[in-house]
A and B are shown apart, each in its own frame.
Chain A
Amino acid sequence: MIISEHTKKTKRQEKIAKGFIWSFVVLTIVILAWIVLYVLFRGFYFRNEVSYDVTNIKEQQIVLNEEIEPVVFIVHPKVRVKDLTSEDLSTIFTKKRKEKWGPYTRQDLRVETFILQGGTDFTDSVIDFLEGPEQEINKYATTVPDIDSMLKKVASTRGAIGFVPASALENTDFKVKIAPIRRISAVVHPSVKEIVNNIQMQELSTDELERIYRGEIKNWKEVGGIDLPVKPVLPPDDVPYSVIKSNLLPEGEFGPEVVHADSFDDFCSVMKETPGAVGLCFYTDVLEKGEELSIEEIGRVESGMNLTIHYLIEAPARSGAWGGISTIIINTFFLIIFTLIFSTPIGVLGAIYLVEYAKQGRMVKILRLGTETLAGIPSIVFGLFGSIFFVNMLGLGIGFISATLTVTMMILPTIIRTTEEALKSVPDSFREGSLALGATKLQTIRRVVIPAASPGILTGIILAVGRTVGETAVLIYTLGSNYELVRGPSSSARVLSLHLYNMFAEAISFDRTFATGAILIFIVLLVNYSTTRMIGRMNKMAGN
């Protein structure tokens, strides 16, 4: 192969340069994929680390003492509860105001509490458990005479919560859901929480707790604490404490270091006197024993589906913290419709003038320049303008009219540009053919040109829709933030983009922010897909 040194050198340079180009291309593709997938992933699946005063140990049947049956807490099937802490339970039954399920399940649903008629050992024990040392069952609780009516009421009342003996569920036809309860807390000797050299024990994870009791973790420094040996303690084997042991490690594979207390008092004194000690008991014990025991927070991972059908169907509450986003989706839909009603005629007909009628001279240049300039104006300037002019000066107020007018101005260039392209790509032979048959210019435009250009025109409209849905800065001060269903042409109404920003800026719920984001991404994907199909169809019609 005849090849000079210099040519070899330039070919090498070429390889390196092209390599860089390839890596930038790959980078761009990765960025795109990452953004889309990241938002979709976090929109569909949430994963948070939350700490509680109780461990993750869930009990479906609660053994309160040895004399009565275990109690089961039941809720109406529509209550989307995963589990409740004993503190939650207490609050639900004793809070001085009517409680809602929001803080527990994010549902905008009133809690309806039911209690069995007092007098039996069973009911009295449960009420005791619910009331704790200082509270009382509130006035909102409904009393039911017997177990059957309890089951009936809970199964049929939305948002209901009540309790029955465990055996009552074995043969019943009533459809109720069991709410597992978490009431077991971890307590530590004060030495564990000391600060030495800026190190202090923070929360323990559920996994770490288990490993401590298996004997795998021997020193507090292994879990972020100070250098102090771990002394795990367990409460006695008698009821009700036996459930603690059996639920923590069902196989009973406790480490050799674990101290098994003989009685509850023994447990408390070991806890008080052994540095590095960690033990498990009921949350209510801690409340009752006052300062003797101090709670170690246990963290667990809560994950699950984020964007669910429920989210799409339910109406929002508490500024979006509870409920869903149904009204917001509908508001968005209305905004799109209104904006299209205004902007499509102006845009399409204006473009028709520019392409079909105007003499290609100074005037057309000015009109086009105007469109290009309008396209470049930042959205916040539109927002500023709309907010002062439409909202204040014209007195249209914050609402759909102001927003529609402002957004129309903003997306006009998009529609005009794409319609112009579409009209220009219609071959002149179509027009000439129609005119030669004796049709007027208007008829030609209406019957021949517009249908031929329709995929392109539709593309412009779809793109305009995409921009409207994604716009935020313009809408903040013209559309407002009322998240209920829009009531009229001048009522304020939150749309998807505003909702996302609101929940983010006010830190209401990051999970839901991403869920809303996922919906927005879907709309963008849909817009993109439709325009690609439209353009494909346009090319086919032009014979490409």
Chain B
Amino acid sequence: MPRFTAENTILAKEIIGRYPLPKSALIPLLHLAQEQDGHVTDDAMVHIAELVGITPAEVIGTCSFYEMFKREPVGDYLVNVCTNIACMLMGGEELLAHLEDRLGIRPGSTTPDGTFTLEDVECIAACTEAPCLTVNYRYFHKISTDQADALLDDLRAGRRAHEIPKHGTLARVRQTIPADARAGAAVPGESGQPVWMKPKDEPEGASA
């Protein structure tokens, strides 16, 4: 049950530094833990509590609210089928039923080989492209059952590895704020009136 690696600990501290108060980094750090281990481990939550300066109970309190955080291992590929109203009208339930048959599992469970976890999810904002699903949060629009089958075959054979990272990795591009360009966190009790907010009658001065 791993804590953050040395490299991720540095990254975690850098992320905490972006926020006015450290606890705001909680969700980003839980994502980082999930990226490192595929799910959020107990030890990672203890480590996050130490880094943020709160109790592990507070970390799990936040973690357990959000459905993307998995506290048990899930498959390499999380297949989320939308069945909300627009998708339901366009065959989302049939798509889900097909994938249940094909994978031999019910929504919320994982194939015995640990490759796929299936979920029946709420609206994922692709309503005009219904029915739709995501695999590790990568969208597949207007997908037929045949196309879904082909997608599963591709994933199993590793043919989509370049576009769909294994579960845990969300965005593959991180924001980096260069030290020399950083304006800095605006901390309550420390940051006063910004310099550019001078009264209108004073000369503008430094404006570009």
Chains A and B come from one and the same complex: no
Which positions in A face B, CB cutoff 8 Å?
A: none
Which positions in B face A, CB cutoff 8 Å?
A: none
